[in-house]
Chains A and B, each alone.
Chain A
């Protein structure tokens, strides 16, 4: 077990030359949920050193976005973070809005939070399902992916697309809430609450799961802070930090929710915290549907740019079509940063504009990339058989880390 505090010099001090250690290459073809390679040095079956080798699904999203119009970056960032599309979209749009100086109306803020919370539930269910298949439980894998579907259907009902929604645009959102959505959402939420009890019976409180996850992959609080781990993995180690609380955006300042934290920071806590966050998301969706304010779904600066046909479309169908402003957008010179709490952790955007048609610098960091130091530290000292448990528990998504 990794009892001592992480020290950066350890990386150099481990002498892995010679014939004492076996080098094992896990991957790059699909060790679980995407293409990455984990190079493991083994002493018997004890892990001595781990070197995560990423970049097999690097898609140059920063390079592409710096050579396109501002609005065209939305589909690019979405396709990098497939289980968390709404959050990637939202983080980028928040940064652009800071440059443009546009504030979306309250109804749009609430709709953003609504779709983000639905997306968070699908993301956590995805993570729980992948963790299940890593531990060898096909049942919970099928269950979680099946229970994702009602929420994805909700997203489709609201935005017109299942996964890559492109729902959030600078100044607001693209569609208003359709008829019958609230009733449908309430049915789905009640279904999910029933299902969470089933999950607890068969999966979370299962003695086999507990035996394989408790005290495995322990990340202490100090290490979590110094390694810069994000999201549920950070809170499982007992750090109270959530971007929704500390740098609020969208409708989160008005919502009543708790940030669950755990104490031990082992694989079991990282499973529990995802279940707790699903409960909090259900609570938030109910509040949003109850308190949804009336009014426009797009800021006045954008609304005034719509032509008469688009305005008619907006009044009748509650749909925002793209005015020419969107493609000719040239935000004033300056730089902006934005942070959003996605399902897997915190997305960070740093964007620099020179007043040009394209962004001058487009920098973004995804949660999985910031969870990478996890491998180098936590797995050391465990047996090889525990590596899938550790890998599965941190909900790592390779395409997201490679960007």
Chain B
């Protein structure tokens, strides 16, 4: 099986670094991601290692790192399924100043938990850290963060930690 040809059938945008055994598929259209993931699963990539985002000024890149336990040829391959999503514009600037860190609108991508159940906790982590809403995830709740960080998306590059407002917030909690 020539893995490169099989991957090129799924998407034309494939980056391969054979020396480091790193393969990368870039899917531009969120609608096609589900089909691409199904084809990868049929190929033998049966579990997700990590789901994460990479934050850029204008977009968030969602990456599913997948690998294989069942097909002998694929055990040595790390494949990154990449989906760049454009960030939406901020709707209301005034509203954003209320919270202790600026409120940023999340991005929305389809969830791949139905195909790879092993992504379930990984997608929850990517959601709370980067503000990526995985549509179709059965259980999309906050996982690691305490309450005061909800909707602040701390792993984005423009996250600012404002101590004074955090203290105000905590004082409000105490008064309640």
Contact = CB atoms under 8 A, between A and B. Distances in A.
B78 A337 contact: yes
A373 B143 CA distance: 13
A208 interface: no
Contact of B65 (A55, A98, A350): A350
A226 B118 contact: yes
Given A228-B49, A350-B52, A365-B50, A58 B118 contact: no
Contact of B78 (A12, A239, A339, A370): A339
Contacts of A370: 49, 118
Interface in A210-225: 224-225
Nearest to A12: B138
A8 B69 contact: no
Interface string A111-151: 00000000000000000000000000000000000000000
A277 to B, nearest CB: 18
Nearest to A13: B138
Nearest to B154: A63
Contacts of B70: 225, 239
A346 to B, nearest CB: 8
A348 interface: yes
B107 interface: no
A224 B52 CA distance: 22
B54 A228 contact: no
Interface in B98-155: 113-114, 116-118, 120-122, 129, 138-139, 143-146, 154-155
Contacts of A348: 49-50, 65
Interface size class of A (residues with CB under 8 A): 35 or more
A402 B129 CA distance: 13
B75 interface: yes
B160 interface: no
Given A11-B139, A247-B76, A363-B50, A6 B69 contact: no
A372 interface: yes
Contacts of A316: none
A365 B64 CA distance: 12
Contacts of A246: 75-76
A288 B69 CA distance: 28
Contacts of B21: 247
B87 interface: no
Contact of B69 (A9, A225, A402, A403): A225
Nearest to B66: A228
Nearest to A403: B144
Contact of B46 (A226, A335, A337, A403): A226
Nearest to A62: B155
A226 B46 CA distance: 6
Contacts, number: 94
A310 interface: no
A296 interface: no
Contact of A226 (B47, B143, B145, B155): B47
Contact of A365 (B46, B120, B122): B122
B4 to A, nearest CB: 18
B76 A369 contact: no
Contacts of A361: 52, 54-55
B63 interface: yes
A63 B125 CA distance: 13
B62 interface: no
A6 B47 CA distance: 14
Contact of A228 (B22, B114, B118): B118
A228 B67 CA distance: 9
A6 B129 CA distance: 28
B20 interface: yes
Contacts of A55: 143-146
Contacts of B113: 8
A98 B76 CA distance: 16
Contacts of A228: 47-49, 116-118
A352 interface: yes
A9 B114 CA distance: 8
Contacts of B138: 8-9, 11-12
A30 to B, nearest CB: 19
Interface of A: 6, 8-9, 11-12, 54-55, 58, 60, 62-63, 98, 224-228, 234, 239, 241, 246-247, 335-337, 339, 346, 348, 350, 352, 360-361, 363, 365, 369-370, 372-373, 376, 402-403
Given A227-B47, A241-B75, 18 more contacts: A8-B113, A9-B138, A11-B138, A54-B143, A62-B155, A63-B154, A226-B118, A228-B47, A228-B49, A239-B69, A247-B78, A336-B20, A337-B65, A350-B63, A360-B54, A363-B50, A365-B50, A403-B144
Closest 3 CB pairs of A and B: A228-B118, A228-B47, A55-B144
